[in-house]
Chain A
Amino acid sequence: MTTLATLRAEAELLARQLPDLSLQAEAADLVHPGAAGRKRAGSGEQFWQYRHYAQTDAADRIDWRRSARSDDYFVRETELETARTLLFWADPNAGFDWRGDEDRPSKMERAHVLMLALGILSSKNGERIGVLNGPRPAALGKTAPNRLAEDLFESRSDSLNPPKSTALAIVASDYYDPIPDWRARLAPLAAKCRHGVLLCVSDPIEHAFPYSGRTKFSRPGSVTERLFGRAEQVREDYLARLEAQRAELSALAIQMGWALVTHRTDEDALRGAATLLQALEQFGGKA
Chain B
Amino acid sequence: MTLGPLLFGAPLALIGLIALPIIWFVLRATPPRPKDAELPSLRLLDGIEPKEETPDKTPWWLLLLRLTAAALAILGLSLPLYAPGAQSGTDASGPVLIVIDDGWTSAERWSEIRSAALTALDGEDRDTPAHILLTAPRNLNVDPSEPFARSDFDARIRSLEPQAWRIDRDEALNRLNASGLQPARILYVTDGLDPETATLFTRALAVKAPLSIYAAPPRGPVAITALQASADGVAVTVRRADDREPSGHFVSALTLDGSALATSEAIFAANEKETVATFSLPPAALSRIARFQVTGSASPGTVWLWDSAERSRRIGLVSGDSTAQPLLSDMHYIRRALEPFASISEGNLITLIADNPDAIILTDIGQIDPSVRDAVTEWVEDGGALIRFAGPRMASAGDTLVPAPLRRASRSIGGALTWETPQTLGGFPETSPFAGLSPPEDIRVRQQVLARPSAELARRTWARLADGSPLVTADQRGQGTLILFHVTAGPDWSDLPYSGLFVDMLRRSIAAGKGEAVADAEGLYTPLLTLNGRGQLEPASAGATPLRASDFGVTEPSEIHPPGLYQGPSGTRALNTAVDDRPVLTEDWPASATLLGEAQAQSLRLAGPLLAIAGLILVVDLLIALAIAGQFNRRRQSIAAAAMVTITSYAMLQTPAAEAQSFRFDPPGGNTEQEVLPKDVDAALNMRLAYIETGDASTDRRTREGLNGVTLTLFRRTSVEPAEPHAVNAETDALDVYPILFLSLPDTPQRLSETAIARLNAYMRGGGTLFIDTRAGGTIGQSGFDGLSDILPGLDTPQLQPTPKDHVLSKSFYLLSSFPGRYSARPLWIEATSSTNRSERRGDGVSRLLVTDADYVSAWAIDDRGRALYSVDGGDEQREMALRFGVNLIMYVLTGNYKEDQVHIPALLERLGEEGGVGDFERDSDPRSLDALPPTGLPEIDQ
Contacts and interface: CB of A to CB of B under 8 A. Distances in A.
Chain B CB count within 10 A is highest, among A96, A174, A217, for A217
A202 B41 CA distance: 9
Contact of A241 (B35, B44, B53, B56): B44
Contacts of A96: 40
A255 interface: no
A227 B34 contact: yes
B44 A219 contact: no
B41 to A, nearest CB: 4
Interface in A166-212: 174, 176-178, 202-203, 205-206, 211
A171 to B, nearest CB: 17
Given A214-B32, A241-B44, A242-B44, A229 B52 contact: yes
Contacts of B31: 214
B57 to A, nearest CB: 11
Interface stretch (A23-31, A140-148, A231-239): A231-239
A228 interface: yes
Interface of B: 31-32, 34-45, 48, 50-56, 630
A245 B41 CA distance: 11
A216 interface: yes
A15 to B, nearest CB: 28
A19 interface: no
Question: Which size class do A's interface residues fall under?
Answer: 35 or more
Contacts of B37: 211, 215-218, 231
A176 B40 contact: yes
Contacts of A98: 38, 40
A255 B43 CA distance: 24
Given A174-B41, A214-B32, 20 more contacts: A95-B41, A176-B43, A202-B41, A203-B40, A206-B41, A213-B35, A214-B35, A214-B56, A216-B35, A216-B37, A219-B39, A219-B42, A228-B53, A229-B54, A229-B56, A230-B50, A233-B50, A233-B52, A234-B50, A245-B44
B52 A218 contact: no
Interface in A36-72: none
The 5 closest A-B pairs by CB, nearest first: A95-B40, A219-B42, A229-B53, A241-B44, A214-B34
A215 B44 contact: no
A220 interface: yes
Contacts of B35: 211, 213-216
A217 B38 CA distance: 6
A165 interface: no
Contacts of B32: 214
Contacts of B36: 215-216, 218
Contact of A226 (B40, B42, B56): B42
Chain A CB count within 10 A is highest, among B36, B39, B53, for B39
A176 B38 contact: no
Chain A CB count within 10 A is highest, among B37, B41, B53, for B41
Interface in A66-104: 93, 95-96, 98
Contacts of B55: 229
14 contacts: A176-B44, A203-B40, A213-B35, A213-B56, A214-B56, A215-B35, A217-B38, A217-B45, A218-B38, A224-B42, A226-B45, A228-B50, A229-B53, A238-B48
Contacts of B51: 233
Contacts of B45: 217, 226, 234, 237-238, 241
A159 B410 CA distance: 142
Interface of A: 93, 95-96, 98, 107, 174, 176-178, 202-203, 205-206, 211, 213-220, 224, 226-231, 233-234, 237-238, 241-242, 245
A20 to B, nearest CB: 35
Contacts of B41: 95, 174, 176, 202, 206, 238, 242
Nearest to A221: B40
A53 to B, nearest CB: 65
Nearest to A94: B40
Contacts of A234: 45, 48, 50
A27 B408 CA distance: 152
Chain A CB count within 10 A is highest, among B34, B44, B50, B630, for B44
Contacts of A216: 34-37
Chain A CB count within 10 A is highest, among B31, B48, B54, B56, for B48
Contacts of B52: 229-230, 233
Contacts of B39: 205-206, 217-219
B38 A215 contact: no
Contact of B42 (A203, A213, A214, A218): A218
Nearest to A97: B40
A231 B34 CA distance: 11
B43 A177 contact: yes
Contacts of B34: 213-216, 227
Contacts of A231: 37
Nearest to B54: A229
A111 to B, nearest CB: 13
Contacts of B44: 176, 238, 241-242, 245
Contacts of A233: 50-52
Nearest to B638: A102
B630 to A, nearest CB: 8
A216 B31 CA distance: 13
Nearest to B51: A233
Nearest to B42: A219
Given A176-B44, A214-B31, A219 B38 contact: yes
Contacts of B53: 228-230
Contacts of A227: 34
A229 B40 contact: no
A177 to B, nearest CB: 6
A174 B41 CA distance: 8
Nearest to A224: B42
Nearest to B641: A102
Contacts of A217: 37-39, 42, 45
Contacts of B42: 217-219, 224, 226
B133 to A, nearest CB: 68
A237 B38 contact: no
Contacts of B43: 176-178, 219
B37 to A, nearest CB: 5
Chain A CB count within 10 A is highest, among B43, B51, B55, for B43
Contacts of A214: 31-32, 34-35, 56
Nearest to A96: B40
A48 to B, nearest CB: 53
Contacts of B56: 213-214, 229
A45 to B, nearest CB: 47
Contacts of A238: 41, 44-45, 48
A199 to B, nearest CB: 16
Nearest to B48: A237
A95 B37 CA distance: 13
B923 to A, nearest CB: 66
Contacts of A242: 41, 44
Nearest to B36: A216
A242 B55 CA distance: 28
A215 B629 CA distance: 9
A79 to B, nearest CB: 49
A205 B42 CA distance: 12
A238 B48 CA distance: 9
A168 B55 CA distance: 53
A209 B652 CA distance: 38
A92 B776 CA distance: 87
Contact of A220 (B38, B50, B54, B630): B38
Contacts of A245: 44
Contacts of B48: 234, 237-238, 241
Contacts of B40: 93, 95-96, 98, 107, 174, 176, 203, 206, 219-220
A77 B618 CA distance: 89
A251 B679 CA distance: 90
B50 to A, nearest CB: 5
Nearest to A229: B53
A247 to B, nearest CB: 13
A119 to B, nearest CB: 25
